[in-house]
Structure formats: C-alpha cells, structure tokens
Structure 1
C-alpha cells in the first residue's frame, strides 16, 4: 500500500494511492496516518479494503508528510563506503547516528529554504524507514517486524554549520525545511527487500547521486536493532539510513545549493520528490 497525507499544510487528510496511481480518500476508514494506522493491525485493516470503494480525490493536491506524528528522526552517517571516501571519513565500525530536529520535516515537494548565513547547503537522497511497532532492544532477526514501511528522504545539510560550528552534526542537519519526506509511505508488503532499491538525485537536471541500498555498510535490520538498544523507537519514527556518494561536498570543487535550484530525487517503488530552493526571508517559517 501507498499511504499518504494530502492537502494544505496543517489540514492534511489521510489517503491511499492505488495500483493505477489514483489518489483515494481514506478519511472514512482512519482518522489519520497515525500510530494506530501504522501498526500491524491497522495496516491489515486498511489492506482489506478494496481501493475502488474509496472516493477519488480530484485535482493534484499537495502531498504532506506521510505520517501524522514523528516523535524522532534518527539519521545514520557514513553508511555507504563510497560516501565516506568522498568526504575523507573512515568507514565506521558501528553505525554513526545523530538526530535531525522534527521541525525540519516538510512535505516531499515543499520549498527548501537556504538558512540565514548559509554558504554550504547540500543534498542527500536516503532511504527512510518508518517504525510501525514499538521497538526496544530488538534482535536483528526480528527487527523488520517492527517496520511499517519505507519512504524517500532528502537529508539536507549545511556543511559549514555541521563541521565548523563546534563539530555538532545536529546543527547542520536541523534547519527548517531540511527534512522532506514522502511522497508516500510504502508498506512492507510491497517492499519485501529494502536492500534491493536504486536511489538517485538530480539538481537542475544533472544527476549527482546514483546509488543502491545493497551497498549499505549496515543494512536496515541491523540499523533498527542497533538504534533500539539506545532509545525506544515509536510508531511513526523515521530512520534515515545514509546517503550514497555524489553529495555536493564531494564534488571537485564542491557544489552547493543556491536560490532557484531545483532538486529532484527518488527511490525505486517509493516515488519521487521535487523541491524548489529559495532564499531565507525573515525569521518565520514560510513553507
């Protein structure tokens, strides 16, 4: 299933994209794409419905964040050996994890805003893992049973903030609009092997990233298990599993985002995103 939330910011409704690509309204079935809907029982209930019995949604509404509530967004650094090499980093012996502020999360096609005083805003296409069942110290063998589905993530970064402002990655990862998610959450019945997905990213039509999840250093099951040792994972939480090579920092010379740029990215079976990049204006969030 492809679960979505559609409509104006703050007024999104739950929806489902059927096999023909038609957006259908789920409001009569669930209140929202929340913890109840993401659990095994909730997903099974939705799966029993014939999509053709659901009302179609006219036009081309905005897609919002596919989940109604994300309590945590946990990111994994240096999880592709070729990306570690292009940034002159060592291949890690254990997963490198850090947090991205949930205030950074936006819809898949919302504008990306370059932060005030930014000089090195960068892109990163990543596979996102959405938790469906509470996970505490789960084994690798049982880890995927706690996953509701997968989605596309653009883990945007401000490299000067990340490396030069005290060496704390969270600073460079958490600006408003730095976490586009979606367009939809694809449940695990459709994505049976998260290590068999091609992912790509383009800026202004130029392809910079062209990777595959089979080359992850730590696979999805290992990541869910490892992270659940250190914190409880809740339904709706997102694990962003790292990016392949081709980020702006790794270009020679480096290339960073500028106002007017267009970012397009996608993952096999999970859809694609498109963001217009614009300059920071004032102190308010305007997406």
Structure 2
C-alpha cells in the first residue's frame, strides 16, 4: 500500500498518535507525516504511506494555511490555551482597525522565535522537555514568511483570522507576538490547518472515516503517480526504466530540473534530477524491486 492520505486530525491528540492510529488501521508500519500539528490544533495532516515515505524530502518547504482564534488579555507558557498564564488577565477588546494595522505590519519576511514548548532541539534535546522541567529556554529566531493574514472577525477579546505562511512558521508565536505588540498579552485559543501545500481539507478524512473506508476495501490513498505533480511526468521505455530503478542515469528530453520517471505501466519508478544537458540521475528510486534510495 503506497501513496498519501490527507487526514483530518482532531484536536486533543498529537500528530504522532494520529500516525500510530493510521498504522494500526492500515496494518502498515511505514507511515510518516508532513508537518506536525500541535495537540490543540485540528485539520490537515498529510500522511505518506509505504514507498511514498521516500518522497518526504520534496515536501519540506510547502506553505501552510490556517484558520484560528487568538485570545487577547493574557499570555501563557505554551503560547496557547493549554499553557499556564504568565500574565494577569486584563479586560482587553482590541479595535478592528488596530488588528488590521497589526496584521499588515507582520506580512512578509521576518525573524520569529519558536515557542519554548516546541519540538525544536537544544543540544539534541527537544525544547519542550527542558521547558517542562522549568529550565529557561530561548530558541534562536528563524526567518519565516507571512504571505497572507486575513481578519475574519473581532468578538470581544477574540480575534478570528486566516493565515497563509511558509513552512516552519509557528502560529502560536504569532499570537504571542501580537499580544506583546498590543501590550495586553495574547495566546492562540483555537487553530485549524486548512491546507498543506496542494493538500486541502476538502480531501481530508477523519480517523473514523478512514477506518470505514478501509473496511470497505477502498482506503482514500492518493497514488504515487499523482504526487509531486509539479515535476513533469516522463514515461520511459522498458530498458530506460530498468536503468532508472537501478539508480543509473537516463537521457530525458526535458528542461525541468526534476522529473518523475514512469515505467512502461505508468507507475512511478523514480524522482530524478538534472545532471547535465538532458542527462538525469535518480535521487529517489520508488520501484520496489530496487533497494536504492
């Protein structure tokens, strides 16, 4: 069983728990996800299944889209509603015009400090483990890109929004920064990922739906051949396909830097990168008959 599944992760469980559930339901140990969702968040969690896990490297820089709610009035240790308050609660109802101006300031590229409670590692140790022990954690700021910030509603201390951001952006940190800028403190109260790259919530299935479809013999797998559609698909003759699946260079008349090489049956054989001219080298071999990767 090989391909991708767009899972609708429920709030309240970790991404790892969702992967474990999918492994159990599919009876497949080779399952990984493309980008962690915090336990409090719901929405699109893309799972790569079987040989599709070999393609994960090509999805690292996919942008993400979210909808959520920020609660102004106090900050928390985790920058979300699961943490302990770190400031006294104050009655603060932001003006819509002030929030729109604030959102405008954050558009584009800027340095963002990840939350202390995150999977980012400090000397090989996840920062959340250090934070849980009460140790001071200060993570290096990294460049992120906020491509869209849309204000959906302001209801008292609650601000609903939609955001489209680069990979690696922490929406919790955004909420925390907003609270600092407004002088009120703030935290992320609710979050839903609506898209991860080309994978949207319209294609997502819940764990219950996944179980039902597996019982019906029709798991909602996106086939290998439909993944990474931005790379041109190049059908190969049998001899060339055999070369590619053994990790050898092939000649392909294509101007792209990366291509999907298909065997004579139309199945994905490999992802190849240009070496020189029309010569391409397989960097990931998907064909199960080869141990190359």
When the two structures are superposed, what TM-score results if normalisation uses the length of structure 1?
Answer: 0.23
Q: Which of the two has greater helix per residue?
A: 2
Question: Larger % of strand: which?
Answer: 2
Q: Which has the higher contact order (CA 8 A, sep 6+)?
A: 1
Greater gyration radius: 2
TM-score in terms of structure 2 length: 0.23
